[in-house]
Amino acid sequence: MKIAIIGTGNVGSALGKGWAGKGHTILFGTRQPESEKVQKLLAEVGDGGTAVSIPDAIQQANIIVLATPWNVVGQVIQSVTDWQGKIVIDATNPIAPGLQLAVGHTTSAAEQLAAYLPGAHVVKAFNTTGAENMSDPLYEGDPITMFICGDDEQAKATVTELAEALGFDVADVGGLEMARLIEPMALVWINLAIKQGLGRNIAFKLVHR
Ligand SMILES: NC(=O)c1ccc[n+]([C@@H]2O[C@H](COP(=O)([O-])OP(=O)(O)OC[C@H]3O[C@@H](n4cnc5c(N)ncnc54)[C@H](OP(=O)(O)O)[C@@H]3O)[C@@H](O)[C@H]2O)c1
């Protein structure tokens, strides 16, 4: 698949390297395709990766991952007008100063995003665990869980395939309004990892019996 990843930070790099390693084509959408940081990333990604401007990446792919700070998503999406049929994977977390949720209860970042992108299929995913876990989702050989939600079944099937390719077990929590629950889960992870001092080698796993 051809996947545009907007943002070349912790999350964008981890996902891009992982998917390129599985044979997918990665178009990084970045403010500075020629920068030393981006060129170093491309060298690590190998043949499957290129870097272009943000609008070029969005226009050239049908799967777009938003991996920027939440407060710049408005700027990023304004750079392209036609989102018809695109799968938009929202990995952002709406975090306000002090590691607080900036939106919640009656809406979510993912739902606000979908309202701005008519015709796009927004799927919330890759927000409930640290970037290190996206590079390596196996704990003693067992996959950790990636919680996803969205309103389009086909888009969720594609995201499930992509998450499983990285090694995740996938739990589909339901329609996009479930992002109201999945986004606060990120704050649970952040509080455990950072405020409670457990460190970043922790993850959520859904168990069955
Ligand atoms: N870090 C984690 O473990 C983690 C886990 C789950 C979810 N998240 C969420 O995922 C998102 C990305 O997190 P991250 O840790 O990868 O952040 P990060 O390392 O700071 O990287 C964010 C990237 O976004 C791009 N960016 C920054 N400002 C921008 C602007 N004004 N316009 C366009 N692009 C801009 C930059 O890429 P360029 O310089 O290439 O343009 C930057 O490298 C956040 O919403 C975060 O809450 C993070």
Tell me, what CATH number does 173's domain have? 3.40.50.720
The total number of structural domains in the chain stands at: 1
pLDDT tens, position by position, 89-118? 999 999 999 999 999 899 999 999 999 999
Closest CA relative to residue 93, chosen from 76, 65, 70: 70
In the predicted model, what is the mean pLDDT of residues 5-20?
98
Residue 24 lies inside a defined structural domain of this protein: yes
Pocket-testing residue among 65, 68, 168, ligand 1, by greatest number of atoms within 8 A of Cβ? 68
Nearest CA to ligand 1 atom 3: 130
The whole-number pLDDT of residue 14 equals 98
The secondary structure element, H or E, covering residue 138 is strand 138-139
Residue-number span of the structural domain to which 183 is assigned: 2-195
At 144, list the tokens: 């950790």
Collapse the DSSP code of 204 into the 3-class scheme (helix H, G, I; strand E, B; otherwise coil) and give the result.
Answer: coil
Residue 203 lies inside a defined structural domain of this protein: no
Residue 207 lies inside a defined structural domain of this protein: no
Give 6 Cα–ligand 1 centroid separation in angstroms: 8
Give 98 Cα–ligand 1 centroid separation in angstroms: 17
Residue 174 lies inside a defined structural domain of this protein: yes
Collapse the DSSP code of 199 into the 3-class scheme (helix H, G, I; strand E, B; otherwise coil) and give the result.
Answer: coil
pLDDT tens, position by position, 126-151? 999 999 999 999 999 999 999 999 99
C-beta of 80 in contact with ligand 1 (< 6 A): no
Residue 16 lies inside a defined structural domain of this protein: yes
C-beta of 128 in contact with ligand 1 (< 6 A): no
Collapse the DSSP code of 28 into the 3-class scheme (helix H, G, I; strand E, B; otherwise coil) and give the result.
Answer: strand
- Buried residues in 105-141 as b, exposed as e (16+ CB within 10 A): eeebbbbbbbeebeebbbbbbbbbbbbbbbbebeeee
Residue 146 lies inside a defined structural domain of this protein: yes
Residue 200 lies inside a defined structural domain of this protein: no
In the predicted model, what is the mean pLDDT of residues 38-43?
98
Residue 205 lies inside a defined structural domain of this protein: no
